[in-house]
Structure 1
Amino acid sequence: MSTQTTQTTQPMRTTQTWRLDQRIRVTGGEVAARVLGEGPPVVLVHGTPAWSYLWRDVAPLLARRHTVYVWDLLGFGDSRTDPGAAPSIARQARTLAELVAHWDLDAPALVGHDIGGGTVIRAHLVEHVPASHIALVDAAVLGPWNTPFTEHQQQHADVYRTMPPDIFGDLVAARFRTATHRALTPESAAAYLAPWAGSEGQRRWLDQVAAVSFEDTREAVARLGEISVPTLVLWGEQDQWIPLSTGERLAAAIPGARTATVPDAGHFVAEDNPADTAAALLRFLA
């Protein structure tokens, strides 16, 4: 992996209120990243179909006590995959390992949402990334965790790839409306939708759908009992994508894991209720 980091002063094309100013070359592409605050390190890993924008209200609250590292998964937000590189959970976990090395972090706290949770677990257990703490937030770790919509896209990929982009965009917009308990504001909805707009966004969306597989978390799931660092399983009480019971089973599989819930929050817990999400993480990291 190259350790070159470039800075850009250009705002994110998707929103004027959140931008990532680093570009880091990794083996599978180029990662957009940002570092905030000062203190013990915390790495935030979003899931699908979000991007780092999900953490925009949580990261500054954590940054009052921690150095917070945020990044877009390969193929998401402003990160790009190289030609032929599939944005699988296995590749994201390898990328996380490369980023931790690039940032010269000894044992950061790792926080993963959705497939970011699977990424964090695989990075720790398979890629041997040291961690001081692990927080799994509405995490896609225990299978099967694909939603019916994702399963349908995987089974009928040709239909979705040849669908007119405007029709596909309507489907994606409807999908985002089920990710939260509270309705997205027009600004937030636009920011989440922007990376998937047009024919190029449609291709990127379907590339990541095709790459997501429980097979990439199976090896890590078999080793959950090996986790020895403090672990928090944090769930939105109103998650319609991955039920709270899955979080309870996940916590039971990890020795000494703590559990907590966030009220008035769906699957995108950090979007619905960032204050309580950040408070729960700060209590755990303290």
Structure 2
Amino acid sequence: MNSYWLAKTFHSSYGYVRYGICGEGPPLVLVHGTPWSSFNWRHLIPGLSEWFTVYYYDLVGYGKSEKATGDVSLGIQHHVLDELLQEWRINEPIVVGHDFGGTTALRTHLLLNVSYKKLVLIDPVALAPWGSSFFSHVFKHEEAFRGIPGYIHEAMVAAYVQDAMYTPMPSDTLKGTITPWLKDIGQAAFYRQIAQADQRYTDEIEPLYASMTVPTLILWGAEDEWIPIGRGRELRRRIPNASFRSIPNAGHLVQEDQPATLLGYLTRYLVDDENAI
């Protein structure tokens, strides 16, 4: 059986969620960002499952989960994560969040008071200002983007996601990343989630970072052009006693650029004593 397999479905209050569970040990939850899916964790799941019971899922509106026509924003994703944790009956999991997944993990912890054993943030969207000019343009013209010819949309999405990596994106990675965003349903979903990206969802939690006590590791691609590494260092200053490490030769999509290095940092921090890193 392939370690990466979304075999299960959970019907959340906001749409159905496809998820998988792999391995044995303490619970560890992987939360992806945008415009990614749990597909982009596939290099890490086998290694992490040697030490942990790994839970991975596609956010509502992403991947193989329901591409709901309503709210798929950061305003609901933390509620979905909370419902999943209750469905899985796990308390104080280790949570690893990338990009919007990091935002979702932070919002779940800070707004819903969900306790974590440890938290790992990988190039998270956490500090204002954020949101590219492309995001702003889609926000103003979402309907027009939903109506462009499919081949133009595919070319745009391909160019967009490849820009997140420092190394050239392999063809199989590109295919697996963009496939959920193709055809009519996927195309509409792609522009929907961008149009709903709103900085107020991080403005709401930024003042709360100083109150965090959960052991936190921040990992950042040294060559991230989407969210420069300086934001990571600033976030480390905002979260008391957080650890910070940069990952060389990696852009925003660290788990595709340098999966072995990322896995090494994760296992060292999560398996060994938290002060060893």
TM class by shorter chain equals: over 0.9
CA contact (8 A) 2:77 2:104 kept: yes
Q: 2:34 aligns with which of 33, 43, 48?
A: 48
Offset from partner CA, 1:220-254 (integer Å, 9 cap, x none)? 11101111010011001111100000111111100
Letter matched to residue 131 of structure 2: N
Q: 1:163 aligns with which of 148, 162, 173?
A: 148
2:205 aligns with 220
2:187 aligns with 202
2:101 aligns with 116
| Whole-angstrom CA distance in 1 between matches of 2:40 and 2:83 | 22
1:35 aligns with 21
Structure 2 spans left out of the alignment, 5+ residues = 272-277
1:135 aligns with 120
- Greater displacement, 142-151 / 245-254: 142-151
* TM-score w.r.t. length of structure 1: 0.91
1:4 aligns with none
Same amino acid, percent of matched pairs: 36
| Whole-angstrom CA distance in 2 between matches of 1:284 and 1:17 | 22
CA contact (8 A) 1:51 1:77 kept: yes
Does residue 230 (structure 1) correspond to residue 203 (structure 2)? The answer is no
CA contact (8 A) 2:27 2:93 kept: yes
Offset from partner CA, 1:66-115 (integer Å, 9 cap, x none)? 1111000101011115453x111121100001111111111001111001
1:68 aligns with 54
Distance 1:192 1:44, change over 3 A: same
Tell me by how many angstroms 1:216 deviates: 1.5
Tell me by how many angstroms 1:63 deviates: 1.1
1:245 aligns with 230
Letter matched to residue 35 of structure 2: P
Tell me by how many angstroms 1:134 deviates: 0.8
* TM-score w.r.t. length of structure 2: 0.94
Structure 1 spans left out of the alignment, 5+ residues = 1-8, 10-15
| Whole-angstrom CA distance in 1 between matches of 2:199 and 2:52 | 32
Equivalent residue of 1:279, what SS? Answer: helix
Equivalent residue of 1:171, what SS? Answer: helix
Does residue 21 (structure 1) correspond to residue 22 (structure 2)? The answer is no
Equivalent residue of 2:98, what SS? Answer: strand
Distance 1:17 1:204, change over 3 A: farther
Tell me by how many angstroms 1:199 deviates: 2.1
What RMSD, in angstroms, separates the aligned Cα atoms of the two structures? 1.5
2:157 aligns with 172
